[in-house]
Each structure stands twice: as C-alpha cells, then as structure tokens.
Amino acid sequence: MSTLLLLNGPNLGILGRREPEIYGTDTLADIEKAVAAEVSGAGWEVLSLQHDSEGDLVRDINRLHDSVGAIVNPGALMMAGWSLRDSLAAYPRPWIEVHLSNVWAREQFRHESVIAPLASGIVVGLGSLGYRLAARALLELVERNP
C-alpha cells in the first residue's frame, strides 16, 4: 500500500480550538479523516505527523522518502524554516504546501514562503477543504508521473 504523508508544523496540533475565526473548527483528526477518504480509492493510506519542532519534521521527511507524496502545512516555518526547506528540496516525490488561511490577506510577514518555490503546488485560504484539494491534486500528479 502507498503512503501519503500529511505533515503539519507548529501549533497545528491545536486546530479546532486555536483561533477558530481564522483556522476553522476542524481538528487535525478531522482533516486526517477527510484526506484519507480522498485517497482511499487509490489504495493509499495516510501517515499524519505533526510537530512543533522543525527538526522533528525534517527527520520525518528524510526517513520517509519512499512515500508516494506529501501534503505539507509548515505553519510559521514557511517564513524561516530553512532546514525544512532543505529537506523538502531533497524529497523525491511531489508535495503540496497548504495553508488554512489566506496568508496574503494577513500580516505582511506572512506573505513569503521559503518553501513554496519547491512545491508542486500551493493551496491557501480554503480552510480544511484545502487539504482535500491537495490530496486530489497529488492523486493526479502521481498518476501522471508514477
């Protein structure tokens, strides 16, 4: 069975209670179930990992190169996560960056992602639906380029 990585960075473990007016009320468990439902027809399983530490995310990416692809919400690491960027540069599969909120409609410091130029695509501002859309996109990308 193929494994899809669902990687979430700092503070995303408290989704559902963290500023619901910005991030919504879905929990990370809700998102994981929705992504699993999207990819189950392809025989993919979801490995969901969330870390508040950049080093833990880097370690997971580096050890899971045999996965089929990844959905990555780096949280605030998008702005200064240089070691995260380097590990994603070496990741040999397609991956999509996701943000629950529209980062360009928020504070100026959120307007640049150091990892975005490496991503196969980016989904922002669609809440938890963005994760499902990223999963659909990865299904297409992997099917076209096995």
CATH number for position 41 = 3.40.50.9100
pLDDT in tens, 105-132: 677 766 789 999 999 999 999 999 999 9
Identify the domain containing residue 86 by its residue range: 2-144
pTM over 0.85: yes
pLDDT in tens, 56-75: 999 999 999 999 999 999 99
Residue 101 pLDDT more than 90? Answer: no
Least confident of 16-20, 71-75, 102-106: 102-106
Give me the pLDDT at residue 89, please.
98
Going by the annotation, the residues of the binding site for substrate are 73, 86, 100-101, 110
Q: DSSP per residue over the chain, as a string?
A: -EEEEEEE-TTGGGTTTS-HHHH-S--HHHHHHHHHHHHGGGTEEEEEEE-SSHHHHHHHHHH-TTSSEEEEE-TTHHHH-HHHHHHHHH--S-EEEEESS-GGGS-GGGS--SSGGGSSEEEESSTTHHHHHHHHHHHHHHHH--
Residue 54 pLDDT more than 90? Answer: yes
Domains contained in the chain, number: 1
Q: Which residues are catalytic?
A: 23, 99
- pLDDT-derived band of residue 146, with 50, 70 and 90 as boundaries? low
